[in-house]
Amino acid sequence: MSLSSIPLQDRPALVRQQFDRLGISGVIVTRGDEYLGEYVAPHSERLAWLTGFTGSAGLAILLAETGCVFSDGRYTVQMAEQAPAALWETRHGGQHPPRQWLAEKAQGLRIGYDPRLTSQRDLSSWETDGIQLVPLSDNPIDMSWHDQPPSPANLIHHQPFEFTGETSRSKRDRLARQLHEAGQDAMILADCPSLAWLLNIRGSDIAMTPVAHAYGLLHADGSADIFADVTRFHDAPEDSGIRPFPPSELSKALQALAGKTVRLDPATTPVWFSMVLKDAGAHIADGPDLCTLPKAIKTTVEQDGNRRAHELDSIALARFLHWLEEHGPGHRETELADRLEAFRAMSPDYRGPSFETISAAGPNGAYPHYRAEAGHDSILQKNSVYLVDSGAQYPFGTTDITRTIWTGPDEAPAAIQKAFTAVLKGHIALSRQRFPMGLPGYRLDTLARAALWNQGLDFDHGTGHGIGSYLSVHEGPQSISVAPRPTGLVPGMILSNEPGYYEVGAYGIRIENLLLVRESSLPETVRPSLEFEVLTHTPIDRRLIAMELLTAEERHWLDQYHATVLEKLLPLLEDELHPWLRQSCAPLL
């Protein structure tokens, strides 16, 4: 990724030149943009510009003589490869947090941060004795990045009722009642997917996530303000209760809340909002974004839309896997990703990828978030493991799927089959589990890891994340991971199921389907019970399975799954793909 004509090794020095005029001795550079989103526009790739690290999570701390880049377990290898070792240390932020590094390296120093790019939650996680954290009115990255791309400001579109199943007025009234009951006068809408969901709008300001860059205010009377240039609206707001204002009016609108109680989410709202509201004399009520939970619980219309999206996606994946089996070896990783994109683009409803495809051949699969770059990517070899993790946006749903493929023609080595089967056993265990209504997802996480643990193996990422509906491919608050997040699972939520195993220097394995939470089909239960509906319908590579390691129940589940795939896809695929599909979905021997 080329972000600038300025050589990478020269960028830290350019930023350090700004320290004196800003009155600081160092700066914290976050990954997120002004909207604290996971994915950012080229204009906001400040962390990548400064360090070379292109992962979707992390931060850097730059001091006068040293610097460090932090991220999580998905990116430890990538950080070390991308951030020049002569300029940067790299650390696993969970094991060695930024606060600890600051305490070791920055005692007595003034460390700057951009309050428009920093949440209160993140700011609190950096605070430590002996360090003064200083909010900056000017960002030293922006001051140094002379060829920084412009901020996006694309058209904003109305998302029709046929895809949402609920009007914006209905959503706003529901949330306004909660504000009123809590004695709160307004809520800050700083999270772009929340704003998009509440106002039934979509945009294209960042790639792969159909949101518009804008802020909003929800008032306790159910009306809402959106701060975006009027020229950006492709069509009128859904109703007169949505008032558009130019972004220049935001500060004035916040100041007008003097004496009012304003709700804001400390995890998704930039610190700048708190600063302005406090100066204006408003009372701040910290609390979760009220959009987050109802956004995660899909309406019946959204559920049907996601089933439709997965049907289209499964057609594309079947065509791709058939092509891959006949022609894949010898092609570069980026060529394989482009081929999958072309199969998806055969549908007129396809709106683009939901994230950058992870197309990883052989050893590259050991990096859970590997990114292949043209000219530097590997060629897929015969008798090797290929991992492809991809997703798509359709106007009625969002998809995410991972398959691990053996390229043949020889039989896969026993060690790889054993590891793959352990991953598959965890995937099946989670898919078929029934559980009580409201059970937090973290209590299911062990199911996906138990078979791996029995072999002394594990994976350093979550098992499942929430999925938006023509929104972000990563959506909370629901999840399935080791982190003890308290959100209970309820019908209408969609999550991924993606256990894996990664043998560094050799291969990576991950199997991912999306699951819809629904009421259980059990006739009688002591308490309300839930189960999962599998939305993804794509064959799982039988050539990588060590059959003797599967129980009878696991074999039955996989045979049933493949029978459903065959039933759904056979009428939708070209006749020449039918023999391949029948073979891929054949019952286990």
| Domain ranges within the chain, ordered by starting residue | 8-144, 157-291, 297-584
Residue type, 184: Q
Omega of the bond leading into 413 within 30 degrees of 0 (cis): no
DSSP code string of 327-363 = H-TTSBHHHHHHHHHHHHTTSTT--EESS--EEEEGG
Instruction: Say which CATH class 297-584 falls into.
Output: alpha beta
Considering Cα of 276, then 279, then 283, then 284, what sign does the dihedral take? positive
Written out in words, the top-level CATH class of the domain with range 157-291 is: alpha beta
| CA atoms within 13 Å, Cβ hemisphere of 82 | 22
pLDDT, residue 428, reads 98
Q: Which pLDDT does position 1 carry in this prediction?
A: 52
In order along its 589 residues, the chain shows pLDDT tens digits of: 567 899 999 999 999 999 999 999 999 999 989 999 888 999 999 999 999 999 889 999 999 999 999 998 878 888 999 999 999 999 999 899 999 999 999 999 999 999 999 999 999 999 999 999 999 999 999 999 999 999 999 999 999 999 999 999 999 999 999 999 999 999 999 999 999 999 999 999 999 999 999 999 999 999 999 999 999 999 988 888 999 999 999 999 999 999 999 999 999 999 999 999 999 999 999 999 999 999 999 999 999 999 999 999 999 999 999 999 999 999 999 999 999 999 999 999 999 999 999 999 999 999 888 889 899 999 999 999 999 999 999 999 999 999 999 999 999 999 999 999 999 999 999 999 999 999 999 999 999 999 999 999 999 999 999 999 999 999 999 999 999 999 999 999 999 999 999 999 999 999 999 999 999 988 776 789 999 999 999 999 999 999 999 999 999 999 999 999 999 999 999 999 999 999 999 999 8
Check residue 77 and give its pLDDT: 82
Given a contact cutoff of 8 angstroms between Cβ atoms, the answer to whether 230 and 156 are in contact is: no
Instruction: Give me the amino acid identity at 522.
Output: L
What would the two tokens of residue 266 be?
A: 């400390």
Q: Which CATH superfamily is domain 8-144 in?
A: Creatinase/prolidase N-terminal domain (3.40.350.10)
Same fold? 8-144, 157-291: yes
Q: What is the rounded distance in angstroms from the CA atom of residue 485 to the CA atom of residue 477?
A: 8
- Return phi, psi of residue 445, to 5°: -60, -35
Q: State residue 238's pLDDT score.
A: 86
pLDDT of 369 reads 83
Contact, 557 vs 531, CB < 8 A?
no
Q: What is the pLDDT of residue 75?
A: 84
pLDDT attached to residue 227: 98
What is the DSSP code string of 384-435? Answer: SEEEEEE-EEETTEE--EEEEEE--SSPPPHHHHHHHHHHHHHHHHHHT--E
Q: Give ∠ CA 276-277-281 in degrees, rounded to 5.
A: 120
What pLDDT does residue 2 have? Answer: 64
